[in-house]
Amino acid sequence: MRSAPTILHLDMDAFYASAEQAAKPSLRGKAVVVGGLGPRGVVATASYEARLFGVHSAMPMGQARRLAPNAAYLVPRFGLYREISEQVMGLLRELSPLVEPLSLDEAFVDLEAGGVADDEASARAVGERLRADIKAVTALTGSVGLAVSKMLAKIASEQAKPDGLVLIAPGTERALLGPMPVRTLPGVGPATGDHLRRAGITTVEEIAEAGEDELVRLLGKAHGVSLYAMALAHDERPVVAERDTKSVSVEDTYDVDIHDRVRVRAEVARLADRCVRRLRAAGHSGRTIVLKVRRFDFSTLTRSETLRGPTDDPGVVREAAARLLESVDTTGGVRLLGVGVTGLADYTQEDLFAQAAEAAAEPAGEAAEPVVGEAVIGPETEPAEAPETPVERRWAAGHDVRHAEYGHGWVQGSGLGRVTVRFETPQSPPGRVRTFRTDDPKLEPAEPLPLVGGE
């Protein structure tokens, strides 16, 4: 391991919720919960104000509402989060060519490889400057950990939350790790933690005291050897620059199972278009179209079709997804649908019309996802074409709108043919609330405004 704390771990603070608070002045300092709002929804992120009530990520949304009934509950705006993430990752890449993103809001950086730090003082100065730059560019805060290894840098950033910086000085690692619970170490989940607890091991120090042979006996060679090394603060994993994306996909879970075949087709077409937008935004095209269907009984099926060449044509992807759907029996109801593209490339084969026609004449390929209890699929007997029904305008809580008279705002809620909008921007004071018909022609969906600058 290196001798200076030049591995940096950045973790944005309550990222989705903080972005929503920055965008919506009326929510600053208040409990905000972001996630799926239906009965099957789960919490993606909770603001620190909401966490005081016990709300946390991955919690069922119904439980969150019982704990914090007066919080603001919002549907995620992933387009905005990705834009902010790109700004943050750009700042990290200015520091080093070795940036390893773990998610939209989290990454490792090798400062030594960038030549910007070689000791404690310079590493701390870089970390503080990074935090200031992130605040200036995004209006959000991030917590920074600095250490000689990835494991320790991540532990340090957890200790720094929220909006702080912690540097673990070389030589102090064992003393710091010793009293921490075993779950602190990477790879120790609930099952491994319970297994160690039954053996009388509850802290990192007790892992080190148990010895490598005992850990191998308890957990197997690979896991036991790795865990013992980490308990001694040994972590040789390098920071690896981000890997190429292997697939692009989107999916939606529905609050109520969809039984109407026409609605299922419409949802698949909508998901295909969303998938292509994300594909194009990433500068990719792909050869294999994948359809995912989770049915009423939780059985999950995937169907795939490989084209002759890569495409980013929405019509081709829609048609392929529709053909794949024809091989799936959805009469019992559908709770989740997804469309994805794999086999990515950085170029597009222009003439795909003939290939699409060829594929339509051939049976769709399939790759059943290995899910316990999957039912056998029978032939689909419904006609391929059915008249389309108008899709009702949906106003998702938290999403942006623009009114011809009142300007930019966001949806506070909707139902019974009405939509309530609060008109404010990231730079305005808390705004006024007005209610409209859901079909009001003066009200339209809008793109998010920048958190810094803009209107």
Positions annotated as catalytic residues are 106
Q: How many CA atoms within 13 Å lie on the side-chain side of 39?
A: 4
Task: Say if CB 218 and CB 224 are below 8 A apart.
Answer: yes
Q: How far is CA 355 from CA 124, 311, 347, 374, in A?
A: 56, 11, 17, 32
Q: What is the DSSP string of 187-209?
A: T--HHHHHHHHHTT--BHHHHHH
Q: How far is CA 204 from CA 157, 166, 439, in A?
A: 18, 20, 59
C-alpha span between 410 and 119 (Å, rounded): 47
d(C-alpha 341, C-alpha 310), whole Å: 10
Encoding tokens for residue 188? 């120790």
CA atoms within 13 A on the CB side of 89: 18
Q: How far apart are the first and last CA of the chain?
A: 48
Q: With contact defined as beta carbons under 8 Å apart, do 406 and 434 qualify?
A: yes
Longest dimension (CA), the chain: 73
Strand order in the sheet with 142-147: 99-103, 106-110, 7-12, 142-147, 165-167
Query: Can you read off the two tokens belonging to residue 137?
Result: 């560019």
